[in-house]
């Protein structure tokens, strides 16, 4: 027994020594706190005014990341001349007043209905036509055999056979194009989702920044609260009148930042491990949250200058010592406004998605335990072992999602690639619960670079990079664990 034990201790010590020697040669091991602190203090400085998407400081942050990539020796993606990927967004500003006259009722803009797009229009006693969903695709054409020329088209809300609220909302912009192409004068959708109409008006009416629509139509596109649906039954209401102003749209320049580090293995370099983090935050001033007399800036140190710093330090470490697989680095814009940057990237990838075998995103609300890192989706892919090992190497415990009921996995940029099939967990600093410590800083003006532990965050970056390195050098690419809700789409993507 004793002898065996000694042998075991001897072997263990030898392996451990070899292991720690190996790590100590890696650039992430040597990562200095000053470097982490410099990135963090720049990105989360007051001068950056909260990096809000659509504002110039968001583009300054993108520029900073791009030039850091250049400095590290990161290359632009093949076929690209720049690190910046333009994300077409637009400011949309509706008019404040407008009416629909339905029988004896007058419906008010902003209360009973809202206008999503279109030019100003004054329409008097225009015949109404019902067209189901007002949808056209390979299997369905709601305009077949219906004459809508010179009429107001009324339809059910959303897209047929689709129960995803977000897709129903954004996808419905295509319907205005269908209506206009068929000669209608206006499109009215009857809103009936299980989400209060007042909140919809707050989020989609008024002034907002959104993905630029590729389906532009000049006819008024209106959403009306379903409590008025009775007014729109054919018998009761043969015609409508309306008076609405223009929804003015103005392009807003925003960019993702994308760079690549080619792997060393002749075969595996055709596979990419995607490292990503959003760099935008919510801005400055009382329009975006609670401010105090002395602090009006939402610095977004934790959310997400930390993740962006992890991305920048990874860029440098992997350029200095390349792994077997290639590394694709992406800084996303627009996360706080609805994952606009990552959603755009997923639809317009610069490297074919099926070559991207894994995505380790870094985003977080903050941390309350600096002995841990929290991985949303740790146990959902078989990169779990690599992440646990990498954390241990720096004396950190890797823990899984502490609040699965909050569905955090589907609430950050990692989900944009996950829905395409790419195994994509999210790594955040140690979060064990959404407690008062998290609430004190999460999306608060107090989220300043002065009140984080730079020592801990340096370790966090090391864990992030080393995890990615172990995954990028792994013999076989990690997969979704069997039974995961994204397993099937993963199999479709990779053709297995
Ligand atoms: Zn975030």
Strand, coil or helix: 466? helix
Residue 213 has pLDDT above 80, yes or no: no
- For 104-145, write each residue's pLDDT tens digit: 888 999 999 999 899 999 999 999 999 999 999 888 999 999
Which of the four pLDDT bands, split at 50, 70 and 90, describes residue 12? low
Which of the four pLDDT bands, split at 50, 70 and 90, describes residue 369? very high
Specify the pLDDT at position 234: 47
Specify the pLDDT at position 68: 98
- The whole-chain average pLDDT of the chain stands at 91
Q: How far is the CA of 338 from the centre of ligand 1 (A)?
A: 11
Q: How far is the CA of 336 from the centre of ligand 1 (A)?
A: 7
Specify the pLDDT at position 160: 86
Give the DSSP letter string of 382-432: TTHHHHHHHHHHTT-EEEE-S-GGG-GGGGSTHHHHHTTT----EEEE--S
Q: Which residues surround ligand 1, an ion (CB under 5 A)?
A: 303-304, 363
Residue 61 has pLDDT above 80, yes or no: yes
Which of the four pLDDT bands, split at 50, 70 and 90, describes residue 339? very high
Q: How far is the CA of 10 from the centre of ligand 1 (A)?
A: 45
Q: Which residue has the tokens 């790594």?
A: 427
Tell me the average pLDDT across 265-293: 95
Domains of the chain: 27-87+254-494 (3.40.630.10), 91-251 (3.50.30.30)
- For 377-426, write each residue's pLDDT tens digit: 999 999 999 999 999 999 999 999 998 888 889 989 999 999 999 999 99
Tell me the average pLDDT across 426-445: 94
Tell me the average pLDDT across 37-60: 97
- Would you state the structure tokens that stand for residue 421, as one six-digit string? 């099939």
Which of the four pLDDT bands, split at 50, 70 and 90, describes residue 435? very high
Strand, coil or helix: 41? helix
Q: How far is the CA of 391 from the centre of ligand 1 (A)?
A: 22
Which of the four pLDDT bands, split at 50, 70 and 90, describes residue 26? very high
Q: How far is the CA of 108 from the centre of ligand 1 (A)?
A: 36
Tell me the average pLDDT across 357-374: 97
Residue 430 has pLDDT above 70, yes or no: yes
Specify the pLDDT at position 233: 53
Q: How far is the CA of 412 from the centre of ligand 1 (A)?
A: 7
Tell me the average pLDDT across 70-99: 94
Residue 1 has pLDDT above 50, yes or no: no
Residue 194 and residue 198: Cα distance in Å, rounded? 12
Residue 155 and residue 188: Cα distance in Å, rounded? 6
Give the global pTM.
Answer: 0.85
Query: Closest by alpha carbon to 427, among 273, 289, 318?
Result: 273
Specify the pLDDT at position 2: 47
Which of the four pLDDT bands, split at 50, 70 and 90, describes residue 299? very high
Tell me the average pLDDT across 481-489: 96
Q: How far is the CA of 312 from the centre of ligand 1 (A)?
A: 16
């Amino acid at each position: 027994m004793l002898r065996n034990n000694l042998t075991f201790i001897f072997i263990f010590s030898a392996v451990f020594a070899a292991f720690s020697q190996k790590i100590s040669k890696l650039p992430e091991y040597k990562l200095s706190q000053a470097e982490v602190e410099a990135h963090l203090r720049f990105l989360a400085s007051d001068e950056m005014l909260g990096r809000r998407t659509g504002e110039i400081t968001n583009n300054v942050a993108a520029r900073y990341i791009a030039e850091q990539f250049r400095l590290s020796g990161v290359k632009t993606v093949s076929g690209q001349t720049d690190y910046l990927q333009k994300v077409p967004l637009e400011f949309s500003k509706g008019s404040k007043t407008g009416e629909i006259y339905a029988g004896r009722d007058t419906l008010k803009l902003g209360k009973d209905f809202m206008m999503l797009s279109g030019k100003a229009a004054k329409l008097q006693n225009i015949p109404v036509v019902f067209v189901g969903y007002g949808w056209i695709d390979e299997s369905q054409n709601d305009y077949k055999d219906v004459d809508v020329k010179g009429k107001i088209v009324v339809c059910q809300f959303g897209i047929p056979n689709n129960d995803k609220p977000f897709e129903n909302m954004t996808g419905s912009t295509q319907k205005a194009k269908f209506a206009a192409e068929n000669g209608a004068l206006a499109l009215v959708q009857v809103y009936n989702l299980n989400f209060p109409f007042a909140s919809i008006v707050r989020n989609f009416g008024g002034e907002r920044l959104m993905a630029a629509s590729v389906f532009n139509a000049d006819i008024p596109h209106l959403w009306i609260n379903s409590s008025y649906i009775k007014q729109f039954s054919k018998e009761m209401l043969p015609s409508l009148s309306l008076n609405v102003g223009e929804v003015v749209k103005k392009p807003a320049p925003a960019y993702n930042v994308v760079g690549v580090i080619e792997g060393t293995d002749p075969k595996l370099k055709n596979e990419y491990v995607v490292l990503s983090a959003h760099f935008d935050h919510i801005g400055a001033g009382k329009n975006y949250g609670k401010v105090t007399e002395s602090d009006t800036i939402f610095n977004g140190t934790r959310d997400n200058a930390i993740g962006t710093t992890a991305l920048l330090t990874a860029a440098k470490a992997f350029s200095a010592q390349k792994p077997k697989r290639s590394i694709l680095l992406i800084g996303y814009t627009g996360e706080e406004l609805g994952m606009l940057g990552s959603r755009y990237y997923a639809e317009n990838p610069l490297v074919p998605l099926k070559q991207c075998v894994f995505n380790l995103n870094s985003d977080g609300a903050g941390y309350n335990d600096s002995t841990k890192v929290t991985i949303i989706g740790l146990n959902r892919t078989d990169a779990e072992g690599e992440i646990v090992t990498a954390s241990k190497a720096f004396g950190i415990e890797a823990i899984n999602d502490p609040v699965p009921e909050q569905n955090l996995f589907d609430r950050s940029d990692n989900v944009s690639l996950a829905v395409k099939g790419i195994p994509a967990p999210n790594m955040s600093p140690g979060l064990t619960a959404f407690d008062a410590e998290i609430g004190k800083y999460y999306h608060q003006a107090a989220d300043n670079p002065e009140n984080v532990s730079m020592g801990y965050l340096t370790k966090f970056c090391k864990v992030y990079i080393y995890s990615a390195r172990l995954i990028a050098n792994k013999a076989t690419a990690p997969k979704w664990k069997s039974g995961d809700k994204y397993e099937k789409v993963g199999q479709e993507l990779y053709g297995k």
